[in-house]
Every structure is written in C-alpha cells, then in structure tokens.
Structure 1
C-alpha cells in the first residue's frame, strides 16, 4: 500500500475508532450500571439503543453538511458534542439521564462514522477504496479487542463512571487529529451550496437505486446481527455462563478478531474474484454458520466454547461482507458521496437499533434468542443478496 494511503488509513481509522470505542469500552460496565442505578436489564439496553438511534439519524445531517462545508468543519462540531456528552454521562444521576446523554453522545459520534467514508470516496474508488476501508477496519479492530479490556481495567478500581471520562479524553485526540493531521479532501469548487430540494433529490436518487439500497441493506443485516450480540453479550457471558468482566472482555475480543482478520483480505479477494462474487459467497457463508449456531443451541448443545467458535466463524464472514458492500454501494454516487455515505450509515444504524429493541424485549438470559436473531438477519441478507446481485456483471465490481 502506498505511503499516503497508509497515513490516510491511520488518521481515518483513529477517527472512526472513537465511536466504537465509546460502545466497546462501555460494555463490561452494563451489569454494574444496572445495579448501581437500580435499573432493569431492558433499561440498561436502552442506553445502547438511544446511542445507536442518534448515531444513525444524525448521519443524515453530517453527510449533506460535509458536501456543503467540506469534510472537516462537521467533524469539529460532532467531536465537540461527543466530548461534552461523554462528560455528562460520567455524572448521570439515574438511568433516564444516562439514556438521554447517550443519545446526545450518539449525535456527536455520527460525524466520525459517515464523514470518513466520504473522505475515502473523495480520493479513491474500486479495489483501492476497498483496501483502504479494510485497513481502516484493522485500526478500528483495536476497539473491540482492547476497549473492553481497558473498560474492565478502569471499572474495577474506579467504577463505571470513569469509562466515560476516559472516552472524553480520547475525544481530545480526535480533535487534534482533525485539526493537524487530516487534510481537507473536498475542494471549494466541488462544494455544493445547501439546497433542501437538492438534498431530497439526492435521497430520491439513492432510494430509487436498487443496487445501492440492496448493498446497503445487506451490510445492514450483518450490522444488525452484531448489534444484537452487543446488547446481550455482557449479560449472557457474565450472567448465564458466569464469566468475570475480564473474561468477558477476552471472549468479546476473540469474536471481534474473526471479523477484522477477514476484512483485511477483502480487497485482495475482490481484486481476484470480483467484489460482487465476494459479497455473494461471504453472505452464503455467514448464513450457513449462523444457522448452524441456531440449530446447535436449540438442540441443547449449550457449550460456551462452541458458542464462541461459531460466532467467530459467523463474524469472520461478515468481515468480508461489510467493507466490500459498503464500497460497492458508493461506486456510482461520487458527486453525492457524503449524502450516500450518510444515508447508508443511517439505514444500517437504524437496523441495528431495531435489532437491539427486539432482543431487549425477548432476551431471556439464554443464548437461544441471540442465536435466533443472528440466524434471522443472515437469512434476510441472503434474500437481499439474491435480489440485488443476481446476474450482476463481475466486471462492475473490479
């Protein structure tokens, strides 16, 4: 990979890492928050869902704003809100305040989700874009593998509130990177003045594009299954299987390792076989492993090592699906890349929020409902893959 691409990957990866870091470092604290604030498990899961709702919806604002003002000003705005909300979360007096402040935190975090995608599209397309997206995911991989461990290390001596103080400190790093390391990638001449009608027209173009919508929803089904895991994993691993918060962090890191390891070969596979073929076969593998997980759990094979192993395989296939489908969805929409990235992020986060809402209602403390949610998402992804990619020319994905 070229030196400028490596530098861009590190900068965008660290910025993109801030949002997941606020989620993953927080996960080991959920049982402690539930106890300390005298809240129910469902109410604690709402602190995740409120974050994702704001995280998704506000990308619709940041995307068009980045097309109008450039990529950097909306990043400053979002990171500022994120940092202030993180401080507020650290001092939340009850679960209701924490839910509200997590929503505000999601408003700010949305900026570092949608805008880096547009920055990539400003500079690269095709296999290069997939390679850069995969490299960014390697940087982001530090979050699910290390953030829960860091969260556990902070929670034990200082309590769960220290997690949000740590996140606020990380926000300062994000502001520093935006100000001194990230160059503006949208030239003044390429910026479009804000017009509500133009924004609605751009959304109309995207909603009417079956390729864009199909690819976005394929990735969205994968994200929804992962969000179901996020909402239940800490309670399932510590409550049902009896793991400590540190052991939970290690198991969570192992599940994440499968996703981010395979994401690193997505570009190479796309260059060799075509990105469309990669998505087709990876979705099939994702559905197969998810259905095997569901069947084994329902047949009574309640083994923690088996559960973790099958989740590792399932999310390894998602490591091929998500970055490849994400890049493919933006290929034909360069002039409105910010809007396209924002809408894609919003739709995927909303699917994730719905997934959390559903599992928070039906979760019974056992792995059955989690396995069912993952299998259902995988089968929907297969259906979308068949409808969207059937007969698509492989050359279009190269």
Structure 2
C-alpha cells in the first residue's frame, strides 16, 4: 500500500466497479422485473439496452469536461446523477419508468468509465499505465463474480427494488471516495477550455488515426462479445441447462475468473515482449478459442462444462487484450487524453450495443446461437487488429 500508483489504482478500481455492478447485480432479477411490471422478457431487456446506449453516448461529454475543469468535478456530477436515477429506478411503477431511470443511471455511470482512464494517463504511461489498468481490471472483473451473487442474495430477503437501493448506498460510498481519497491529477495549467472547434479538431484527429481506431475497435468488439454473452447467458443457462438464479450467478462468475486472472499478467508480459506482440498473440488466441468452441458446440458437444471451459479460456485471452488496447490507444494522445478516452469509450459501447441488436434476431436461447455470436465479435476484433497492428498484418505475432 506504500506505492501511490497502487493506492490510486485501487481507488479508481472501486469507483469503476459501480457501473458494472449496476449491470451484473441486476441480471438475476430480470425475470422478476418482467413479472412484477407486467412486461415481456424483451421489455425487461430494454432496461439493459437503455443503460448501455446512454452510457456510451454520455462518455463523449465527460471526457472534454474532464479536460476542461479537472477530473474530480465530472466524477462528482456523474455519481450524483447515478444516485438520483438509482433511487428513481427502485420506485419505478411501470416498465417505461424503469427504462428511463436506467438510461439516466447510465448517463451518470459513464463518468466512472471515462475519467479514471484519463487519471491513469495523467499519472503514468506505457507498462506502468498498463499495470495500473490491470489493477483496476481486478476490481472491475470481480464484479461479474460478486454482483450476480449479491443480487441473488438481496432477492432472497427482498425483491428487485432492493437491489437498486443497495446500488444507491454503494454510489454514496463512491462519492465519499471521490471527495476524500482521490486527488485532482490535472493541473490547472494543463486544462483545456471546452470549445466545439477544438473538440471537432481533436475528434477528426482521432478518427483519422488508423492506430487509435484500430485499437478502439479491438476493444469494442472484445467488449461486444461480453455484451452479447450478457444479454443471452441468463436465458441460455436457465432454460437450456436448467440452472437456478444462484446457479446462473455462479456459472456467470466463472467466466470472469479467466479474464481478471490473465489481465494481471498484461503489464509484465508487455514489459518482456512488447505491448503490440502481447495484444497480437492474445487477440489471435481469443478468436481461435471462440471459433473452436463454436465448432465443438455445433458438433453436438454442448454440455454446460464444455461451454464454461471454452469461454473461460477465451476470456483469459481477452483479459490480456482489453487493458493493453486501452493503454496503447491513449499513449500517443496525452494532450487530449480525456477526449480520446470518451470517444473511444463511446465507440466501444455503441459497437457493443450494435452487436447485441444485430445478433439478437438469431438468438434462440441456446449455446448453439450464443457461442457463434461471441465468436463473430472475436473474429471482428481480430480483423481490426490485423488492419491496425503491423506485427499481426505481417504475420509476426
């Protein structure tokens, strides 16, 4: 705990975990939400979709704001919005109310995705930044293990509304962390006024940067694979394999173990082999593993242990990809780190949402449709890497 970068990474990780908890803790409650509010499963799923869309769009605003007024105030604003929206969600009398409340919740939670990345860029670059990002990924990745189980526990003595009240308490704790444990990392002399012309110029610079866009899309399609899993796993695990909400939570959690375990080696491997080589090998492993699992499932070997094991190995590769791609995309743009973080985050979230929409009509609540959809995202991530990373294009991964 004497290492200031470690302490900062821990604080940022705790803050960043609030958004994932707002997603994953809610998953076991979706059938109860549909029944309680008199809607269909598709209607209940819209509460997830609205959160993702708002979360993605809002990142475009927090990044420039963080570059203009510092890192702390955008965090405070976003968390306050999140708290209010979470309380409104707990009070929702209709599905429409809940969909809107979830969207506003996403607007607030977006700050906890954008600003921590910019704080990391303020404090470190290269392997040191990758190490900080990996530490944050520990906390974020633990949330898919703990959040559904926590949601199931809350539902054991309450209902889905109590889940939102627990989230509100967690957000209040986060607000205290921002006030008392997080220093301002952007000096006044390095702040940039919010100017549409400057934002437009910065956005054009980033969008025309082949490497930035390639790395962003690698992360975007990688995250999309998880979003596809997120939107379908509860139905596949409970309907095809007959798991209870608690059983689903445990199976869901196992998939996160491979991701966060591997992410802790990202910085060490980057120092030894180079960041580009690590991401090239990892994205190839991710695509290869998901394609292999697709073939196995289509051959009729679709038992639950096989699916869980295959996704575990694939997510281990993805755990090396995501933090490395994030750091590599921001490193060349220290003067517009906030804008780069928000634009990259927005593109990635919208990519994830688009993949859910594109694969949704083909889903049949079975592993035979879920696994190929995940593999499609993985293959697209590999193609983005092939187009943007010289090492992979030249076949020297």
Which TM class, normalised by the smaller chain length?
Answer: over 0.9
Cα shift readout 1:10-45 (whole Å, capped 9, x = no counterpart) = 110001011001111111111221222222222222
Cα shift readout 1:346-387 (whole Å, capped 9, x = no counterpart) = 111101111222343332111122111111111111111111
Q: Distance in 1 between matches of 2:360 and 2:37?
A: 18
- For 1:381-392, what aligned pairs fall within 5 Å after superposition? 381-391=381-391
Instruction: Report what 1:141 is aligned to.
Output: 141
Cα shift readout 1:144-182 (whole Å, capped 9, x = no counterpart) = 111111100001220111111110010101100000000
* Contact 1:31 1:234 survives alignment (8 Å): no
Q: Distance in 1 between matches of 2:153 and 2:3?
A: 35
Instruction: Report what 2:21 is aligned to.
Output: 21
Is residue 2:109 matched to residue 1:116?
no
Q: Distance in 2 between matches of 1:312 and 1:31?
A: 26
Secondary structure of the structure 1 residue equivalent to 2:17? helix
Larger displacement relative to structure 2 (372-381 or 328-337): 372-381
Instruction: Report what 1:104 is aligned to.
Output: 104
* Contact 2:82 2:105 survives alignment (8 Å): yes
- For 1:1-398, what aligned pairs fall within 5 Å after superposition? 3-391=3-391
Secondary structure of the structure 2 residue equivalent to 1:142? helix
* Contact 2:79 2:108 survives alignment (8 Å): yes
Larger displacement relative to structure 2 (40-49 or 302-311): 40-49
RMSD, aligned CA: 1.5
TM-score by length of 2: 0.97
Aligned residue-pair number: 394
Secondary structure of the structure 2 residue equivalent to 1:183? coil
TM superposition shift of 1:141 = 2.4
* Unaligned 5+ runs, structure 2: none
* Contact 1:50 1:102 survives alignment (8 Å): yes
* Unaligned 5+ runs, structure 1: none
Q: Distance in 2 between matches of 1:290 and 1:317?
A: 10
Q: Distance in 1 between matches of 2:292 and 2:99?
A: 35
Secondary structure of the structure 2 residue equivalent to 1:58? helix
Moved beyond 4 Å, runs of 4+: 391-394
- CA 1:359 to 1:42, structure 2 compared with 1: closer, same or farther past 3 Å? farther
Larger displacement relative to structure 2 (37-46 or 317-326): 37-46
Q: Distance in 2 between matches of 1:155 and 1:173?
A: 22
Cα shift readout 1:264-321 (whole Å, capped 9, x = no counterpart) = 0000010000000011000110011100111112111120010111010111110000
Secondary structure of the structure 2 residue equivalent to 1:189? helix
TM superposition shift of 1:142 = 2.5
